[in-house]
Amino acid sequence: MAHSHTNGSREIWLTAICAISLVLGILAEHTSFLPQNIAIYFYLISYASGGYQGVIETFESLQKFELNIDFLMIAAALGAAILGEWIEGATLLFLFSLSGALEAYALDRSRNAIHSLLELRPSKGLRRNEDGSEELVPIEELKVGDTVIVKPGEHIPIDGNIIKGQTTVDQSAITGESIPVTKEIGDSVFAATLNENGVIELEVSKPAKDTTVSKIINLVESAQKNKAKTQRFLETFEPRYAITVITAVILLIFIPWLAFGQDFDPTFYRAMTVLVVASPCALIISTPASIISAIANGAKSGILFKGGVHVEQTVEIDTIAFDKTGTLTQGKPEVEDVISYNQSSGSFETEGDSVKQLLALAAGCEMHSEHHLAEAIVNKAKELNIDPYSVENMQATPGQGVKAEWKNKTASVGNQKMFEAQIDHWDKEIRDKAADLRNGGKTVVFVVLENDPIGLISLADQIRPETKKALEQLKKNGIKKIAMLTGDNQGVAEAIAKQLGIDEVHANLLPEQKVEVIEKMKKSGTVAMVGDGVNDAPALATSHLGIAMGAAGTDVALETADIVLMGDDLSKLPYLLQLSRKAKKVVWQNIVFSLAVIIMLLFGVFLIDLPLTIGVIGHEGSTLLVVLNGLRLLNRNSISSQKA
């Protein structure tokens, strides 16, 4: 039925008028409450209100030279009127109108689940003007670079970066994360998220129309237009089926009447009953009711499908390729080992004063370096309450490390390249130790004082806490092969793959080489690629299903991926599989049920002269059940957290 794009509240009013006038008509015809001769007028009002929407839809499709289900319903109601069966005809139109209104309600409910995001976004923001005054302005007037003040308990009106204050923010509306996140100066925040406890000032980073929440809503709106394959098939099947039914009905009227001399009235009555019960309303609505509910469920859980077609595609996936940095790992290295080296004895120590001095010196040298490894070393010193030594004349050599003066001695902290340039003869012990650490997937930084190596610090990117469990659940959910694609070196990649039980590792890859690997994998399975979007865009686009994660911040991911996980949370992947499988199950339940009802009612017409009234109730009842079954997918608890 094609009611979905109409005004739901108008349909409800028309359905109510249809029902009231039908009841008044029955009272006038069969009781003495009302004059009998006005019954026909009530039936006419009932027909007009119940058939209004169907007539409009029928004219629209006839202009395209197509027939639709609405045409079948209107024809059946007119047929009933010709037979004088006004009550059956009006009941048919009432139930038809009611199922249309309920269908519109169901789809609106799914859409509202998404639009509730929009309601969280305030329509105004408190802007600080250049003269220091504060003014409440519509969010559309906020420009990039403006300063906005957000108080505790308020929803953040626009995307921006914090320039003053700190707070915790509930981002569940955007990322689906249940735990509030601490935000301080320099951190980005999103429109429609809730500022919990501090006053913050932020600098606007995007105009209102480009905020993450606006993009989500546009994506979901277009997702509902981007239909599932089953739905597209059923929509092309509808006009052909309608023509077949109309042809069969014409033959059912004229062959028994003209060829076999049967009475016209019962023949026509039977043909009208066939017209009602053979209409595939339930079949046509079976897919959109389920798919749109699944899309809405996903959006509430921080999973965005960019179309119904991707809900179905997810079911087929048997191979998943992950980007490593920022997807399986946090993308932030942390210090793993601090090892001091005593050159005279050739021995190593991992605790004690020499280790503290080593870290204090390294942190002092790295204090003002921009490098991400430097940040990790300084953070480690902070964590252990070690004050960095104060050094002078720090100089950074890109791609190598830093040098500085400490107590008139030259100290340097950097990679092997740096020291091969500085030191002619290296102790074998320290070389072997560094090689061991590298084989374990760690990055090694050397610390040297006056050309003597005094120790080394190893760092490693940390695996996300939820990664291992998420990958295990994917295996339980029937994923046959999990692969890792990374630009990192083989040793690091192998070490992480071993910890996570990954089946296949491809290291040292450039973005275009990731595409080649995906192409190869596509020959033996249906492949999903999971990445953080920026450098993974080509691979996301090449795979059967591109899944971008942590995409609340990256526009590229929102644009290239088919499915977007708004938070940095891999544990959403098993839920995604379960949701799509449940949706497919419900779609097929609906299809099988609606076909079974049509076949059963058709048998009833020919074997036991099924009355039109029962045909009407059976037909429309099945449509309502199918819509309600689809709506179950809105409930997050109905999606099993166990193996689907």
Element (H or E) spanning 216, and its range?
Answer: helix 212-225
Residue 149, pLDDT score: 95
124-210 and 331-462 in the same fold:
no
Residue 5, pLDDT score: 44
Residue 640, pLDDT score: 60
SS3 for 343? coil
Could you give the strand order of the β-sheet that contains 194-195, starting from the edge strand earlier in sequence? 181-183, 167-170, 194-195
SS3 for 205? coil
How many Å apart are CA 459 and CA 445, to the nearest integer? 8
How many Å apart are CA 586 and CA 523, to the nearest integer? 30
Q: Is 323 an annotated catalytic residue?
A: yes
Count CB-CB contacts under 10 A for residue 158: 28
| 296-330+465-576 topology per CATH | Rossmann fold (3.40.50)
Element (H or E) spanning 484, and its range?
Answer: strand 481-485
Structure tokens at 218: 């546009």
Long-range contact list for 123-126, CB < 8 A, 24+ apart? Answer: 123/157, 124/157, 125/150, 125/157, 125/158, 126/150, 126/151
Residue 557, pLDDT score: 63
Q: Where are the beta strands (DSSP E) in 510-569?
A: 527-531, 545-549, 563-565
Q: Which sequence spans correspond to the domains of the chain?
A: 3-113+220-295+580-638, 124-210, 296-330+465-576, 331-462
Residue 4, pLDDT score: 43
Give the predicted TM-score (pTM) of the model: 0.75
CATH architecture for residues 331-462: 3-Layer(aba) Sandwich (3.40)
Long-range contact list for 437-441, CB < 8 A, 24+ apart? Answer: 437/337, 438/491, 439/491, 439/495, 440/491, 440/495, 441/491, 441/492, 441/493, 441/494, 441/495, 441/496
Of 70, 146, 159, 323, the catalytic one is: 323
Count CB-CB contacts under 10 A for residue 256: 18
Structure tokens at 73: 């319903």
Residue 644, pLDDT score: 38
Cα dihedral sign for 82, 83, 87, 88? negative
DSSP alpha helix (H) spans, 341-404: 353-366, 372-383
124-210: in CATH 3.40.718.10: no
Which residues of the chain are under the pLDDT cut of 50? 1-6, 641-644
